[in-house]
Amino acid sequence: MPELRESNGASGADDAGADAVAVATLRSAVMRLARRLRNQRVEESLTPTEMQVLATLARCGSATPGELAKREHVQPPSMTRIIAMLEEKGLVRREPHPQDRRQVVVSSTEQAESILDQSRAKRDAWLADLASGLTEEEWAVLRAAAPVLERLAQL
């Protein structure tokens, strides 16, 4: 795994400094872009956390509340409240666990999938419009960077 370069002389110090600046710039840019993307919402009544839980269910399939809590890095009692709110809105359903009758499995509803599809379309259109202001060279760099950013998001 690549690490920030350690200084071992004048050019090493320059490399380490450039790496640190690149990391800080990437962090700042990703955070600002993510915040702006989150603001491109279709369903204003859902919190970003609720949308994320629905997206996780869409991407990973049905899960127990404990599995969802672990994937979303929240405490199980918090996930239980989120699931209850989503269920009240008709966006998830709870079903008995097929092997463990003490547990339930949470899955998204068609209404939730429709909201996610509309949200993705809106965000994709917004991002495509934003990217239309890039030069061909910038767009080529961004296309090449997309799989790397996806890999970073999965680590």
With cut-offs at 50, 70 and 90, classify the pLDDT of residue 136: very high
Per-residue H/E/C for the chain: CCCCCCCCCHHHHHHHHHHHHHHHHHHHHHHHHHHHHHCCCCCCCCCHHHHHHHHHHHHHCCECHHHHHHHHCCCHHHHHHHHHHHHHCCCEEEEECCCCCCCEEEEECHHHHHHHHHHHHHHHHHHHHHHCCCCHHHHHHHHHHHHHHHHHHHC
Decide if 37 is inside a domain.
no
Tens digit of each residue's pLDDT (9 = 90 or more) over 54-112: 999 999 999 999 999 999 999 999 999 999 999 999 999 999 888 888 889 999 999 99
Domain interval for residue 99: 48-109
Q: What is the CATH number of the domain that holds 101?
A: 1.10.10.10
What pLDDT, on a 0 to 100 scale, did the predictor assign at position 36? 92
Residue 100 confidence (pLDDT): 82
Mean pLDDT of the residues in the chain:
89
Domain presence at residue 67: yes
Query: What total of structural domains would you count in the chain?
Result: 1
